[in-house]
Chains A and B, each alone.
Chain A
Amino acid sequence: MTTCPELERVLYIEDEPDIRLVAEIALRQVGGLNVITCAGGEEGLSLIHDFMPQLIILDVMMPGMDGPQILCKLRDMPEFKTTPVVFITAKVQADEVEQFKRLGAADVISKPFNPMTLADDVRAIWAACYE
Chain B
Amino acid sequence: MSDRELNEKPSVDAQLATLQAEYIANLYERVLPVLSLWQDYIASNYSPELLRDVYRKVHAIAGTSSILNVKPIDRLSNQVQIKIQTVLQAADIETTLIAEIALTLNEILDVAKSGDINAPPINLNT
Binding site for B on A (CB under 8 A): 15-16, 18-19, 21-22, 25, 29-30, 61, 63, 90-91, 111-116
- The residues of A that contact B16 with a CB separation of less than 8 Å are 22, 25, 115
Q: Does B60 contact A (CB under 8 A)?
A: yes
Kindly provide the distance from the CB of A26 to the nearest chain B CB, expressed in whole angstroms. Answer: 8
Known contacts being A22-B19, A22-B67, A25-B15, is A15 close to B60, with CB within 8 Å?
yes
Q: Is the CB of A90 within 8 A of B63?
A: yes
Q: Mark B14-38, 1 if CB is under 8 A from A, else 0.
A: 0110010001000000000000000
Interface residues of B (CB under 8 A from A): 12, 15-16, 19, 23, 56, 59-60, 62-64, 66-69, 78, 122, 124-125
Counting residue pairs across A and B whose Cβ atoms lie within 8 Å, the total is 48
Partner of B64, one of A19, A30, A114: A19
**Given known contacts A18-B19, A22-B16, A61-B59, A112 and B67 CB-to-CB distance under 8 angstroms:** yes
Nearest neighbor of A21 in chain B, beta-carbon distance: B19
Q: Does the CB pair B125–A116 fall under 8 Å?
A: yes
Name which of A30, A90, A113 has the most chain B CB atoms within 10 A of its CB: A90
Q: Is A111 a contact of B63 with CB atoms below 8 Å? A: yes
Nearest B residue to A61 by beta-carbon distance? B59
